[in-house]
Every structure is written in C-alpha cells, then in structure tokens.
C-alpha cells in the first residue's frame, strides 16, 4: 500500500499557496508599472490615435510647433514646481510673465535698448518680484497664497500705467502725447521666431535647458534635497542646520526669473507688448505642475514631470485642433486631464494596505 510521508504535507501546502502569492505579486508589479508610466502610456496612445486620424499630426514641423507652443507653459510650470517643493505656491507667475512682455517691449520701443540690455533687465525684474514675494512670505509671515495673489493684482495694474492701458508697438503714443521712436531689436525676435537648422525652435532649446538645469538642481544636489526637506518638514530642516529662509527665497526668486524668461519668449514671438498676454498662463502652468505629480508615480513636485505634463496637454490640444474640435472645449479638456491625473496620483496610485 502506498503511503504518504506526513513531512511532505506542509511542503505541498506551501507550494500550493505559493502560486496565488506569486500571481498577486506580479499583478501588483504590473499595477505599479502602469501607474508609474501612465502619463507616458497615455501620451503615446494620443500620438498614435491622432496620427491615425490625421497623418499630418506626426509631421516633424507640427511636433516642433507643439513643443514651441508649450515651451512657455513648461518654463513657468518649472518655476511653480520649485515653489511647491518648499511647500509654497506662486500665484503671481502669470502676471510676472505678462509684465515682462510689457517691460521688454517698453525697453525697446520707448527706451530704445537693444536685446543685450533688455534681456538681463527683464530677468532682473522677475528676480526682484520673486525677492519681494519671498520677503512677504518669509520675513513678514504673509501666507504664500495671499502674498502672491496680492503681487498678481499689483503687477496686473502696474503694467498698464506707463502706456495708459495701451499695447506697446512701434509708433506708440505715450501719455504725454509724444510718440515712441524705437523698434524691436531683430536679435531679440530670434528668441521666439528662429529655428536652429530650420527645425528646432530656440524656445524649445530654452525649455530643455531649464528642464535639465532644474532637474540637476532639485534631484542631484544637496540644495535640491533641502528644498524638498523644507516642504516636507520645515522645522526639522531648520533644526538640521539648513537655512529655510534662504531656501524659500531661492525658490521664489527662481520662480520669478523663470516667469520673466517665459515673458521674454512671448514678447519675441508676437513682436509687441500685448496687454492681454499671459491671461491663461497661470492656470496652464499650474496644471502642468500638478499633472507632473503623476509622472513615474512620484506623487511630489518634479521638474521632468512638469515638462511631461505640459507636453501632454499640448499634444492633446493640438490634436483636437487638427480634428476641428471646437475651441471652447479646450478648457474642459484641460480640466478633465488634470482631474484624471490627480485621481491617478492620489486615488488609484495609493498602495493597498
């Protein structure tokens, strides 16, 4: 008669239980992979879908046009990301960018400055605004949302005063009745209109440089680790010997400077100081930064995620435009994408206990 050794029963039982556990672990790994790469998977799906529906979408000129269109939003979003890293928020970036458009135009049209004087002047203006924001928030202890909201209203009104509310272009009539005799420097216009080798726009190169520089700063340096530590636990960071005052000041100065850089790109692209410029930049850049939370399932501010978020929205809107979708649906689409990204990050991306 065949007998079964009792010692083999636990082993058999263990083998029987190993299969479901290994299967669940594989499903968990697959789920983690899908959550980490969800934005990139959806981006690839959008590109394939739009290419099938409209073959001209995949044309290199159109792809460069998409990147050029999102470059300003990505640059501003990178500034928002840095302030989010220290636990703050900058609502003034759209107004800083719009004021920078007006400042650059005023410097060349009225003051007759060239590009080499205008660009540093406008960047210094953005850095100064960031410094004032930091002073209000860090020294005077004004909540970041209130301080930057007040700065937004201040700049929105200030940019209209020198020209009595008029846009700036060649031949501008000044409030005293005289006419401006300056013009846009052709070298300055190259920033927004020139393409390297006839293919790669300068604005896209600037976006890439900002992305790489901030990625190295935030992810590969001690300063970057301290920025995130400040946002995570400011008291602990201070007790560890780091100056949270300097770190927060750095974040807001970077945000203001990048906003001014975005304004320079806009001014160089349109060739005039439009009083309505920058209207949607705040919401678009914030959306890009928040979508970036879902990239690689990091669930925290990260520069490359912000760039990916801006490109994702740009591809989506460009594809819908090529398919003749009504323009008034764009805000709805951006809102739906943002809601989906946040749900993915904070809902579906939550680990099971």
Q: What per-residue confidence (pLDDT) applies to 20?
A: 58
For 118, half-sphere exposure in the C-beta direction (CA atoms, 13 angstrom radius) is 31
Q: What per-residue confidence (pLDDT) applies to 136?
A: 96
How many CB atoms are located within 10 Å of the residue 319 CB? 20
User: Would you mind telling me the total number of residues written for the chain in this entry?
Assistant: 353
Q: What per-residue confidence (pLDDT) applies to 19?
A: 55
User: pLDDT tens, position by position, for the chain (353 residues)?
Assistant: 444 455 544 454 444 444 556 767 777 676 666 666 777 888 888 899 999 999 999 999 999 999 999 999 999 999 999 999 999 999 999 999 999 999 999 999 999 999 999 999 999 999 999 999 999 999 999 999 999 999 999 999 999 898 888 889 888 888 888 888 889 999 999 999 999 998 999 999 999 999 999 999 999 999 999 999 999 999 999 988 899 999 999 999 999 999 999 999 999 999 888 887 777 889 889 888 988 887 777 778 899 999 998 998 899 889 988 888 888 887 788 788 778 766 766 665 555 44
Q: What per-residue confidence (pLDDT) applies to 4?
A: 47
Q: What per-residue confidence (pLDDT) applies to 175?
A: 82
Q: What per-residue confidence (pLDDT) applies to 16?
A: 47
Q: What per-residue confidence (pLDDT) applies to 105?
A: 93
Residue 330 burial (C-beta neighbours within 10 Å; 0-12, 13-18, 19+): middle
Partners of 195 in the β-ladder: 201
Query: Can you tell me the distance from the alpha carbon of 123 to that of 143, in angstroms, rounded to the nearest whole number?
Result: 25
Q: What per-residue confidence (pLDDT) applies to 12?
A: 46
Total-model pTM: 0.88
Query: Can you tell me the distance from the alpha carbon of 319 to that of 293, in angstroms, rounded to the nearest whole number?
Result: 24
How many CB atoms are located within 10 Å of the residue 69 CB? 18
CA dist 117 → 102, 127, 188 (Å) = 15, 16, 10
Q: Retrieve residue 131's tokens.
A: 């410094």
Query: Can you tell me the distance from the alpha carbon of 155 to that of 81, in angstroms, rounded to the nearest whole number?
Result: 21
User: What does DSSP assign to residue 249?
Assistant: H
Query: Can you tell me the distance from the alpha carbon of 265 to that of 72, in angstroms, rounded to the nearest whole number?
Result: 7
Query: Can you tell me the distance from the alpha carbon of 309 to that of 64, in angstroms, rounded to the nearest whole number?
Result: 16
Instruction: Determine how β-strand 200-201 pairs with β-strand 195-196.
Output: antiparallel
Query: Can you tell me the distance from the alpha carbon of 78 to that of 71, in angstroms, rounded to the nearest whole number?
Result: 11
Asked if residues 213 and 143 have their Cβ atoms less than 8 Å apart, the reply is: no
Q: What per-residue confidence (pLDDT) applies to 272?
A: 87
Helices 93-109 and 281-291, packing angle to 10 deg: 130
Asked if residues 142 and 248 have their Cβ atoms less than 8 Å apart, the reply is: no
């Amino acid at each position: 008669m065949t007998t079964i050794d009792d010692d083999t029963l636990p082993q058999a039982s263990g083998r029987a239980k190993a299969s479901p556990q290994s299967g669940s672990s594989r499903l968990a790994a697959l789920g983690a992979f899908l959550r980490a790469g969800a934005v990139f998977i959806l981006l690839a799906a959008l590109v394939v879908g739009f290419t099938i529906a409209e073959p001209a979408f995949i044309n290199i000129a159109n792809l460069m046009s998409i990147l050029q269109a999102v470059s300003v939003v990505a640059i501003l979003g990178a500034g928002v990301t840095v302030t989010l890293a220290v636990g703050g928020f900058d609502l003034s970036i759209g107004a800083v960018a719009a004021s920078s458009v007006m400042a650059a135009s005023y410097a060349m049209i009225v003051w007759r400055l060239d590009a080499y004087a205008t660009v540093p002047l406008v960047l210094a203006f953005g850095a100064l605004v960031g410094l004032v924001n930091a002073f209000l928030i860090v020294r005077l202890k004004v909540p970041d949302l209130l301080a930057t909201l007040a700065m937004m209203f201040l700049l929105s009104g200030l940019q209209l005063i020198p020209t009595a509310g008029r846009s700036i272009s060649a031949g501008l009539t000044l409030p005293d009745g005289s006419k401006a005799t300056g013009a846009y420097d052709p070298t300055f216009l190259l920033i927004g209109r020139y393409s390297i080798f006839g293919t790669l726009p300068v604005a896209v190169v600037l976006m890439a440089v900002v992305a790489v520089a901030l990625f190295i700063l935030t992810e590969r340096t001690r300063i970057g680790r301290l920025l995130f530590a400040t946002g995570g636990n400011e008291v602990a960071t201070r007790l560890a010997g780091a100056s949270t005052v300097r770190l927060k000041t750095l974040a807001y100065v970077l945000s203001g400077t990048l906003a001014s850089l975005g304004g320079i790109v806009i001014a160089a692209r349109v060739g005039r100081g439009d009083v309505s410029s920058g209207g949607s930049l705040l919401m678009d850049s914030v959306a890009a930064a928040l979508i970036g939370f879902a990239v690689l399932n990091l669930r925290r501010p990260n520069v490359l995620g912000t760039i990916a978020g801006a490109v994702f929205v740009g591809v989506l809107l460009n594809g819908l435009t090529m398919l003749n979708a009504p323009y008034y649906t764009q805000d709805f689409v951006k809102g739906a994408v943002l809601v989906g990204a946040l749900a993915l990050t904070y809902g579906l991306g939550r680990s099971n206990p």
